[in-house]
Homo-oligomer: A and B are copies of this chain.
Amino acid sequence: MSNDISKIKLKKISAELFKPFGDLLALKDAPDLIINHGMCERHHNLATIEFDKGGKPGISLFNAEPRKLPYTLKMMERHPKGSQAFIPMYEQPFLVIVAIDEGGKPARPNAFLTEPNVGINFHKNIWHGVLTPLHSPGIFAVFDRIATDTNLEEYWFKNPYTIF
């Protein structure tokens, strides 16, 4: 129980902290433009979307099993051919786990808790944990590259981490 290196404390997500890994899909301090004859703010182009050739943009829904804290992180994955955005369909925070790459495998992970009504976009080829809602139903709109070629790499930790 004293193996502190295996324990990772959740942090509240912010655009700043999440920047090395992706984009926070939240209102900016001010809109980029006003549209619809004054009735709507447009907070424009919030995410770095990249889809390699051989695929096309698409919208899917994911319905994931809610998890509980503390959460055991055994595996991380990345998608070398495209970014992947997650927008919660229910007003609940969710767990976002990311890591920079260190010689082809994830470095020590970072664990973030989102705020309700905020989505995220993982940049292309960023190591991340699988979709981990903390509440039911764990339904998300996902905007990613639609293709049939292989676009998934998994890394299983010899020693799992505990997120708390």
A residues with a Cβ closer than 8 A to B are 23, 25-27, 31, 35-37, 39-47, 49, 51, 56-65, 75, 85, 87, 89-91, 117-119, 121, 130-131, 138-139, 141, 143, 146
Task: Contact check, B61 vs A26: say whether CB atoms are below 8 A apart.
Answer: yes
Task: Contact check, B43 vs A61: say whether CB atoms are below 8 A apart.
Answer: yes
Please state the number of chain copies in the assembly. 2
- Checking B36, B56, B143 against A64 with a beta-carbon cut-off of 8 angstroms, the contacting residue is B36
Task: Contact check, B89 vs A61: say whether CB atoms are below 8 A apart.
Answer: no
- Checking B36, B49, B65 against A59 with a beta-carbon cut-off of 8 angstroms, the contacting residue is B49
A115 to B: closest C-beta gap in Å:
11
Q: Report the nearest B residue to A91, measured CB to CB.
A: B91
- Checking B40, B49, B58, B61 against A65 with a beta-carbon cut-off of 8 angstroms, the contacting residue is B40
Query: What are 16 residue pairs bridging A and B, where the CB atoms are less than 8 Å apart in the complex?
Result: A25-B59, A25-B61, A31-B63, A39-B65, A40-B65, A41-B62, A41-B63, A44-B58, A45-B60, A46-B61, A51-B57, A59-B119, A59-B121, A59-B143, A89-B91, A141-B141
A89 to B89, CA, bound (A): 7
**Which residues of the other chain, B, contact A41 by a CB distance below 8 angstroms?**
62-64
Given that A87-B87, A141-B87 are contacting pairs, would A58 and B40 also be in contact in the complex, using a CB cutoff of 8 Å? no
Task: Contact check, B44 vs A60: say whether CB atoms are below 8 A apart.
Answer: yes
A42 to B118, CA, bound (A): 21
Task: Contact check, A87 vs B89: say whether CB atoms are below 8 A apart.
Answer: yes
A97 to B26, CA, bound (A): 26
A43 to B59, CA, bound (A): 9
Q: Known pairs A23-B59, A40-B65, A42-B61. 16 more at Cβ < 8 A?
A: A27-B63, A35-B62, A35-B130, A36-B130, A36-B131, A37-B75, A40-B64, A40-B131, A41-B63, A43-B63, A49-B58, A49-B59, A59-B85, A59-B119, A59-B143, A89-B119
